[in-house]
Chain A
């Protein structure tokens, strides 16, 4: 399949073209965010939109949903010119966006959320009967009539909330449904459910645009894919025919020789011993030993207690039982302040909510854990400047607020904090979540280098190829229990998944 094959005409039964975007351009100040994107999606197909962070996916979707007006280019919906002036106009025209962050009113009921903004009414009065009926139909359409219509949405699980959002889209009679990183907070069980629903919507004749960083998901769910790079559509094709390596090289614009550089690590003495650690809810029971100069991976399902394990070790969450020994010092009560002093640092899985004070500058964030009684702004700026260079952080300068940086560069700031503090033990929770492939490769290289220079690293990740690529040993967490670590060479992705789902007893 060649890069030019963007047209769906190549599929067997020549379906109708639902949405067509042609030569879309958008400029913000000096930044050319979109420099000519072409895209077509047909009824009854799932189109995957892939690209690194900053490639222009979000901008493109904001143009599609009416949040931005393109500088150039044209769009058609079902053959009619389509130029939404605002997001509500786009919704009415039949384009529904399901964002990463759900946009539901937590205190309102399921049916109120589904009908939000399109409430049936008789004069000033709500027509509750019709509301209930349309909402119920929508839930049937997405295959989950079992979710009660009257309970507050906040009481549903994240996965169910997402379904409500999709039901809202179908209640509006959407023709095009855009899902932006829909699986980032789902368990693999929920992902399977979501995929069943996506196929169902597809078979009902919806056109689906699926945005994801996870190329395995792209392979599993999409019919075709389009790759964006630097604001241009640089390629695409039938997903089934495409090698993942080829998609990646289209995304980064160069051949990916080896994403996971792993040199020989020489494990030294034990730096961290965790014995029968239990938190108030999770983990239930976890023991591990971490050596100097090694990378230990912790695999498992989201919600299995991996994050909680790191938090308990680091003293962020209360410990109910068990102990943590750092070097030769046995625990006692732990707090993050004590752990930092003992030479341990933690990278949070959620940069915006916990990892970084995004309103503050790079320098402030980087030095936060290691400030002296007196702070000289020029000194912390100089320190930040050094790390900006060392980690190749792309920014305007050390005084720039972190919120202005891309995800990958934000993550580098968060990691630089650990390095500047000079910790020996690094607890990294999802260190490459939501960042582009180029930054991922840099972070993998950095982790490898840290291990080589005698640091001890724990990496928690939901992305198995990454764990297989960078870790010396991998331990699997299943329902709060941590299984013994095994050398990476002795495990496979399949064996890890079996352990993680509790199938391997």
Chain B
């Protein structure tokens, strides 16, 4: 054993082929290339209406709620878990925020309360998954129904109108510099979450748990505590998404965001996350969200029917999973 770190010869370092770097680069750039391609396609098909600042703003604005939910769900997917209850959580949060506002709480407290409700939903999911050792898919399938039921009960199965406050203007243009507040919130959360995943121990532990949970345990990582934190975080992000959704709707709606979980998961997978865990990136997820919303917007401009758009979204989800398979072929 020598102590000089420079002892490896360049020849030895070059013994393994470089192709995996290319693969990684494609995983990183793939979503961005896809987004650009889709934008070019629609710009050619609808040169007057598609490539405009107004349309771009519109697409970004529509990406905000799904985007926030998707970056919350990305750590869950990286840790080899899944959360399909986020749509129901968003519904509970919009109703809660409406009720808080009507109970004369300050708008800020109402928003924080909404985020807290989201985190509580995540805590419930995380507790079932870690303490009771239940499969995340099954747990969140259960709460997918149960949280929706909570929203129905709280709202008596109808939209809850709320007093007008500044909370209603988070998604409105002209209230904040350049872009609506909601977009800025998304951007800040993206930066914070991306930094958290890359530069903190918590973030690296998420990758380790997703890549191999047994290794994580062997290395002394508190696996259950970390997982619990991941689901609480996902819940809190759903809470933020719920507050933004409330702002969009200006009311609490127990039926909102039915498709959000699948769109968010598809966005993460398009962005490079693997459903088998250990891989994923926040930037990729955001690009994935914008990509899906761009497709929807383009399809609207091409006068696709609602049904046609839903078929397209479904096909995109399947393609995203296919993409995951192609990037991570099952071991031969």
- Whether A371 lies near B207 (C-beta < 8 A) is no
B20 interfacial contact with A, CB 8 Å = yes
CA of A404 to CA of B331, assembled, Å: 12
Hey, what's the 0/1 contact readout for B185-207 against A, CB within 8 Å counting as 1? 00000000000001111011101
Q: Of all chain A residues, which has the CB nearest B211?
A: A357
Partner of A316, one of B15, B205, B218: B218
Given known contacts A358-B212, A364-B208, A373 and B200 CB-to-CB distance under 8 angstroms? yes
B156 interfacial contact with A, CB 8 Å = no
- Whether B212 lies near A375 (C-beta < 8 A) is no
B4 interfacial contact with A, CB 8 Å = yes
CA of A67 to CA of B332, assembled, Å: 10
Interface centre among B207, B219, B278, by most chain A C-beta atoms within 10 angstroms, is: B219
Residues of A within 8 A of B18 (CB): 396
Q: Nearest Cβ in chain B — how far from A356, in angstroms?
A: 6
A-B contact pairs, 29 of them (CB 8 A): A29-B17, A336-B217, A336-B218, A338-B220, A340-B219, A341-B220, A353-B212, A354-B214, A360-B207, A369-B219, A369-B220, A371-B201, A371-B205, A373-B200, A375-B203, A377-B199, A388-B8, A389-B8, A390-B3, A394-B12, A394-B15, A395-B13, A395-B15, A395-B16, A396-B14, A396-B15, A404-B16, A404-B20, A417-B219
- Whether B7 lies near A357 (C-beta < 8 A) is no
Partner of A374, one of B4, B201, B219, B222: B201
CA of A446 to CA of B13, assembled, Å: 22
- Whether A389 lies near B5 (C-beta < 8 A) is yes
Hey, what's the 0/1 contact readout for A312-352 against B, CB within 8 Å counting as 1? 00001000000000000000000111111100001010000
Residues of A within 8 A of B200 (CB): 373-375
- Whether A354 lies near B218 (C-beta < 8 A) is yes
Q: Nearest Cβ in chain B — how far from A451, in angstroms?
A: 14
CA of A339 to CA of B214, assembled, Å: 16
Residues of B within 8 A of A358 (CB): 211-212
Residues of A within 8 A of B211 (CB): 357-360
CA of A357 to CA of B217, assembled, Å: 11
Q: Of all chain A residues, which has the CB nearest B328?
A: A359
Interface residues on A, range: 35 or more
Partner of B220, one of A339, A360, A365: A339
Q: Of all chain B residues, which has the CB nearest A338?
A: B220
Residues of B within 8 A of A377 (CB): 198-199
B303 interfacial contact with A, CB 8 Å = no
Given known contacts A357-B212, A390-B1, A316 and B17 CB-to-CB distance under 8 angstroms? no
B2 interfacial contact with A, CB 8 Å = yes
Hey, what's the 0/1 contact readout for A393-409 against B, CB within 8 Å counting as 1? 01111001100100000
Partner of A337, one of B3, B203, B207, B221: B221
Q: Of all chain A residues, which has the CB nearest B12?
A: A394
Q: Of all chain A residues, which has the CB nearest B222?
A: A337
Which 8 A-B residue pairs are closest in the complex by CB-CB distance? A357-B211, A337-B220, A357-B212, A369-B219, A396-B16, A354-B214, A340-B220, A336-B220
Residues of A within 8 A of B48 (CB): none
- Whether A374 lies near B199 (C-beta < 8 A) is yes
Residues of A within 8 A of B217 (CB): 316, 336
Q: Nearest Cβ in chain B — how far from A392, in angstroms?
A: 8
Residues of A within 8 A of B201 (CB): 371-375
| Known A337-B220, A371-B205; further 15 A-B contacts with Cβ < 8 A | A29-B17, A336-B217, A336-B220, A339-B220, A346-B218, A357-B278, A360-B208, A368-B216, A368-B219, A371-B204, A377-B198, A382-B5, A390-B5, A404-B16, A446-B1
Partner of A31, one of B14, B17, B220: B17
Interface centre among A316, A357, A386, by most chain B C-beta atoms within 10 angstroms, is: A357
Q: Of all chain B residues, which has the CB nearest A337?
A: B220
CA of A341 to CA of B2, assembled, Å: 27
Residues of B within 8 A of A354 (CB): 212, 214-215, 218
CA of A342 to CA of B219, assembled, Å: 13
Residues of A within 8 A of B3 (CB): 390
Q: Of all chain A residues, which has the CB nearest B1?
A: A390
CA of A359 to CA of B213, assembled, Å: 12
Q: Nearest Cβ in chain A — how far from B175, in angstroms?
A: 35
B305 interfacial contact with A, CB 8 Å = no
A449 interfacial contact with B, CB 8 Å = yes
B255 interfacial contact with A, CB 8 Å = no
Hey, what's the 0/1 contact readout for B19-50 against A, CB within 8 Å counting as 1? 11000000000000000000000000000000
Q: Nearest Cβ in chain A — how far from B165, in angstroms?
A: 38
- Whether A335 lies near B220 (C-beta < 8 A) is yes
B89 interfacial contact with A, CB 8 Å = no
A433 interfacial contact with B, CB 8 Å = no
- Whether A389 lies near B6 (C-beta < 8 A) is yes
B279 interfacial contact with A, CB 8 Å = yes
CA of A396 to CA of B212, assembled, Å: 22
CA of A182 to CA of B4, assembled, Å: 41
Q: Of all chain A residues, which has the CB nearest B205?
A: A371
Q: Of all chain B residues, which has the CB nearest A446?
A: B1
- Whether A364 lies near B204 (C-beta < 8 A) is yes
Residues of A within 8 A of B332 (CB): 67
Given known contacts A357-B278, A377-B198, A389 and B2 CB-to-CB distance under 8 angstroms? yes
CA of A390 to CA of B5, assembled, Å: 7
Q: Of all chain B residues, which has the CB nearest A405?
A: B16
Q: Nearest Cβ in chain B — how far from A505, in angstroms?
A: 36
CA of A365 to CA of B201, assembled, Å: 13
Q: Of all chain B residues, which has the CB nearest A417?
A: B219
A355 interfacial contact with B, CB 8 Å = yes
Interface centre among B13, B204, B218, B222, by most chain A C-beta atoms within 10 angstroms, is: B218
CA of A385 to CA of B201, assembled, Å: 20
Residues of B within 8 A of A30 (CB): 17
Q: Of all chain B residues, which has the CB nearest A351?
A: B215
Given known contacts A375-B201, A396-B14, A386 and B220 CB-to-CB distance under 8 angstroms? no
CA of A372 to CA of B204, assembled, Å: 10
Q: Of all chain B residues, which has the CB nearest A354?
A: B214
Given known contacts A364-B207, A369-B220, A374-B201, A356 and B215 CB-to-CB distance under 8 angstroms? yes
